[in-house]
């Protein structure tokens, strides 16, 4: 039996290690399909929802593979983004009558309110734990991507309302942390 040179053994070991990390990342991102499915079932705008969902899954795979604290920020972002996602999708389906601009105003406000709640959750975490700006941006990106899957039912204005509400929620938490410190 011939022994392989040390550098070949190291290359093989590294390749096996990275493939294992990638498989783990793919399995870790799989539960995001549980969010994408209901969003697709409840939204009239399927194409943007598929695009946002695919971006969310691919970004999750990348961050889970990369590690270094980013998976926790991404998980928090997805959990916080589930607030506006669920709020907007439920409000669009449960008991309000869409009559022209009235529906738009209701769903638009729901999107902004959900964004503010998600921003407050992420901002509170970021400023209490004093995380880096990069982790705050990661959690924010995942929160906005998740929430935007629901806000697309209103169109681009719904996503803008989500982002404005989100920014206000984070800003309020930043101000609170500055005043109390």
* DSSP type of residue 1: -
Lowest-pLDDT choice from 30-39, 112-121, 135-144, 162-171: 30-39
Beta carbons within 10 angstroms of residue 144's beta carbon? 25
Task: Give the span between the Cα atoms of 65 and 29, in whole angstroms.
Answer: 10
More confident residue, 26 or 42: 26
Residues 6+ apart with CB under 8 A from 66: none
Name the band, by pLDDT with cuts 50, 70 and 90, for residue 98.
low
Q: Check: CB of residue 114 under 8 Å from CB of residue 88.
A: yes
Confidence (pLDDT) at 54:
92
The pLDDT assigned to 6 comes to 85
Each residue of 107-149: pLDDT tens digit? 788 899 999 999 999 999 999 999 999 999 999 999 999 999 9
Residues 6+ apart with CB under 8 A from 8: none
Residue 78's pLDDT is 95
| 96 has a pLDDT exceeding 60 | no
Whether the predicted pLDDT of 94 surpasses 70: no
Higher pLDDT, 181 or 180: 180
Q: 14-23, 47-56, 62-71, 137-146 — which is least confidently predicted?
A: 62-71
pTM: 0.84
State the distance between the two ends of the chain, measured CA to CA, in whole angstroms.
Answer: 67
- Predicted local confidence at residue 143, as pLDDT: 96
């Amino acid at each position: 039996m011939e022994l392989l040179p040390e550098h070949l053994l190291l290359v093989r070991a590294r390749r096996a290690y990275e493939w294992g990390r990638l498989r783990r990342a793919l399995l870790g991102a799989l539960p995001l399909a549980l969010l994408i499915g209901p969003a697709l079932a409840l939204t009239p705008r399927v194409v943007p929802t598929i695009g946002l969902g695919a971006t969310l899954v691919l970004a999750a795979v990348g961050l889970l593979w990369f590690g270094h604290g980013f998976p926790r920020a991404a998980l928090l972002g997805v959990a916080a983004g589930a607030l506006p996602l669920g709020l907007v999708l439920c409000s669009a389906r449960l008991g309000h009558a869409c009559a022209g601009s009235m529906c738009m105003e209701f769903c638009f406000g729901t999107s902004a309110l959900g964004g503010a709640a998600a921003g407050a959750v992420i901002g509170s975490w970021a400023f209490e734990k004093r995380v880096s700006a990069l982790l705050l941006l990661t959690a924010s990106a995942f929160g906005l991507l998740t929430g935007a899957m629901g806000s697309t039912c209103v169109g681009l204005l719904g996503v803008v309302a989500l982002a404005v509400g989100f920014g206000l929620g984070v800003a309020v938490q930043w101000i609170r942390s500055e005043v109390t410190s």
